[in-house]
Amino acid sequence: MQEFNDNMIRQYRLMSLQGIITINDKDHNVEEWYNQFVVWNRVQGFKQPRNYFDWCLMKVQGEGAKNITAAVKINCLGEQEFPSLEEMKEILLKTYKMKRNPEDIINELKSMKINKNDDIIKFNQKYTELYNKLDDKFKLRLFTSDYLDAIINKVSVWRNIKLETKNKDITIEEALEAAEFYDKLEVELRIKTQNNNGFSKNKINKNTNFNKNPKFNNNNNINNSNNNHNNYNNYNNLN
């Protein structure tokens, strides 16, 4: 029964794909292809690239299909990592040397969010790459506050830049540079703290071992001294 249901779902998806345009070396309306797949993936409930990659690839032919396939990577665990729909769109635009719609770039920049454990340098590289694709007149529609919203999950970095910009204005480029500086500073402080904690623990362990050594144990020395004193008194009493 489950196999029958799976086949029915597969047939339905194949039929629904017919309404999506096909990208090839002659006809490549990438923006329309992308917008149609955004809706299609949402209807199908697909969120992860591995779920929708093959379906998207079925509607791409020629050089575009080759370049998208080449973007599949193998991670350190030996697992395949598939490009996202946005990344496939970028690949197709580069393949056919098309310029992205500035509105799409602005929307993507405003929706970008770094995760707490992400590398801020890599994040900034992607942010800068998109930002530099905009003409100057479109860059004016983005503000430093938009970038700060994008890195809000890096709480310490975000807070430091907010303090720095409290009484002065800085550009997005300056904010990018400041974010990398404060992130590096935070890492260095964390390493220094860990090293100091390690040194303190070693010192405590050494002191503990020192105190456990009968030769240097103060309590033992006191007891030995008392014993010697008692023995001395007993000796005098006998005499």
Q: Which residues of the chain have pLDDT under 70?
A: 4, 198-239
Q: Where are the domains of the chain?
A: 1-98, 100-239
**Is 81 in contact with 74 (CB distance < 8 Å)?**
yes
pLDDT of residue 38: 94
Query: Residue 34 class from Cβ within 10 Å (0-12 exposed, 13-18 middle, 19+ buried)?
Result: buried
Angstrom distance (rounded) from CA 95 to CA 67:
8
Alpha helix segments (H runs only) across 18-97 = 30-44, 49-57, 63-70, 85-95
Residue with structure tokens 């860059």?
Answer: 139
Distance CA 127, CA 154 (A): 15
Residue among 183, 139, 140, 190 at smallest CA distance from 158: 183
Q: Using an 8 Å Cβ cutoff, are 112 and 154 in contact? A: no
pTM: 0.54
Q: What is the pLDDT of residues 201-210, one digit of tens each?
A: 555 554 444 3
Per-residue pLDDT, 101: 84
Distance CA 91, CA 106 (A): 18
- What pLDDT is stored for residue 6 in this prediction? 74
